[in-house]
């Protein structure tokens, strides 16, 4: 990942926070015909290892897991995408001063590299789906639990999946949120995003203010 210094985020708690907030990661492996990619939800265990451990599962019908099983020492890449937003030059004070501006895109992203192990143990898989369900259902008024479904149905579902456990060997974060712009431009971007209707715009406005030193107090 191209990483200019001013966009580099190295705090592990911040990187882990993005993964937990946006757990649908893009799993990428290298196959004989080139890269193979699948979006799958991940669970993060931040207490295991230096950088943490990721757990996930795939359908057994998905050939991606066999590619991993056949190359046990090969590294995988997982990309987690956080908030993103288009930035129009119209928000920049520099546009009014010189006109020397172009559009860009702001985003926060985390990339994880590690070695994946295949898990085909029914107890491991039962724990995986229960933990993933709790992560996503927690806080809902009518939270669904795995135990709400008939046990024989869940066991049949488990037979159709395969698990992945990935020791995180390297983790990098890029928060491209207008840090490279003059203060007046950052203020304009944050204010402009406040009035956008796109889903991620308010969150991106908050990141621009936080990383751009615009927050009060």
Tens digit of pLDDT for each residue in 172-185? 999 999 999 999 99
Please give the Cα distance from 145 to 10 (Å, whole number): 35
Q: Where are the beta strands (DSSP E) in 129-209?
A: 161-176
What average pLDDT does this structure show over 128-136?
A: 94
Q: How confident is the model at residue 217 (pLDDT cuts 50, 70, 90)?
A: very low
Please give the Cα distance from 37 to 20 (Å, whole number): 20
Please give the Cα distance from 171 to 51 (Å, whole number): 7
In this prediction, residue 216 carries a pLDDT of 63
Please give the Cα distance from 142 to 70 (Å, whole number): 42
What average pLDDT does this structure show over 109-117?
A: 97
Q: How confident is the model at residue 199 (pLDDT cuts 50, 70, 90)?
A: low
Q: Tell me which fold the domain 5-89+106-179 belongs to.
A: Pnp Oxidase; Chain A (2.30.110)
Q: How confident is the model at residue 31 (pLDDT cuts 50, 70, 90)?
A: confident
- Which of 53-67, 104-118, 192-206 has the weakest average pLDDT? 192-206
User: Which residue, among 82, 93, 77, 98, has the nearest Cα to 7 in the 3D structure?
Assistant: 82
Looking at the DSSP bridge assignments, the partners of residue 78 are 27, 112
User: Which residue, among 165, 158, 128, 131, has the nearest Cα to 60 in the 3D structure?
Assistant: 158
Please give the Cα distance from 134 to 117 (Å, whole number): 23
Q: What is the pLDDT of residues 47-69, one digit of tens each?
A: 998 999 999 999 999 999 999 99
Residue 80 is given by DSSP the state E
């Amino acid at each position: 990942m191209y990483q200019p210094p001013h966009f580099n985020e190295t705090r592990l708690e911040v990187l882990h926070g993005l993964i937990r907030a946006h757990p649908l990661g893009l799993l990428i492996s290298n196959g004989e015909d080139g890269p193979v990619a699948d979006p799958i939800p991940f669970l993060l265990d931040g207490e295991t290892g230096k950088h943490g451990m990721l757990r996930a599962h795939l359908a057994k019908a998905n050939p991606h897991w066999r590619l991993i099983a056949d190359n046990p020492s090969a590294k995988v890449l997982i990309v987690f995408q956080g908030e993103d937003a288009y930035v129009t030059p119209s928000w920049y004070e520099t546009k009014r001063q010189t006109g020397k501006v172009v559009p860009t895109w702001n985003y926060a992203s985390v990339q994880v590299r590690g070695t994946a192990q295949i898990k085909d143990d029914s107890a491991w898989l039962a724990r995986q789906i229960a933990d993933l369900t709790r992560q996503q259902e927690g806080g809902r008024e009518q939270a669904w639990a795995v135990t709400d479904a008939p046990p024989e149905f869940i066991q049949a579902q488990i037979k159709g999946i395969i698990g992945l456990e990935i020791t995180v060997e390297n983790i990098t974060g890029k928060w491209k949120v207008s840090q490279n712009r003059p203060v007046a431009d950052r203020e304009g971007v944050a204010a402009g995003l406040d009035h956008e209707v796109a889903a991620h715009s308010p969150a991106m406005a908050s990141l621009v203010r936080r990383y751009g030193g615009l927050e009060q107090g």
